[in-house]
Structure 1
């Protein structure tokens, strides 16, 4: 089961058939993410083929990991399979 952890806390876990792999990033379905650790961020970025990304920061035991998760609220047609999915980076450990 793929997992996302940071600072020893389980941020997301999913069955292998639930995740999407795009550009070597594991995207977890939102229902598999522990939103207790996520806080909305004002950050956005743009991808030519996926669209506009929004971000979450992680807050675990008083430690903040700024913009450590991203998602595409309304991805372009080429990336529609990641609608409702969240990916992680910036020190978040992804394990198979």
Structure 2
């Protein structure tokens, strides 16, 4: 599967390597093009996943703020709920299309 902005691939991995949480596909950290993402100061804490780190995606001259996120240190109890350790896996919002 791929996470794309236009023709630019932001992340790519086999579906079997992704984790689906609450309808969002989370890509493994190694599958994300780190050159296209930067951390955002936007704060958020999920009541059951923990402290979220929002990410900006930059493609060419365009920066899309807060269109990706990850949980660097999820709450330990969340692993049982998800069924897998999803630390630092990256999910994308609607401006970044996830396609097969």
Q: TM-score, normalised by structure 2?
A: 0.89
**Which stretches in structure 2 are left out of the alignment for 5+ residues?**
80-84
The aligned residue for residue 34 of structure 1 is: 33
SS across alignment from 2:16:
helix
**Which stretches in structure 1 are left out of the alignment for 5+ residues?**
none
The aligned residue for residue 86 of structure 1 is: 90
The CA distance in 2 between the partners of 1:31 and 1:79, in whole Å, is 21
Root-mean-square deviation (CA), in Å? 1.1
Which structure carries more strand by proportion?
Answer: 1
The aligned residue for residue 60 of structure 1 is: 59
SS across alignment from 1:75:
coil
SS across alignment from 1:74:
coil
The aligned residue for residue 82 of structure 2 is: none
User: 1:65–1:90: 8 Å Cα contact kept in structure 2?
Assistant: no
Deviations 1:2-41 (A, max 9, x none): 1100132000000111100000100000100011110111
Q: TM-score, normalised by structure 1?
A: 0.92
| Deviation at residue 77 of structure 1 after TM alignment | 1.8
| Deviation at residue 79 of structure 1 after TM alignment | 2.6
Task: List 4+ stretches of structure 1 deviating above 4 A.
Answer: none
SS across alignment from 1:21:
strand
The CA distance in 2 between the partners of 1:22 and 1:15, in whole Å, is 16
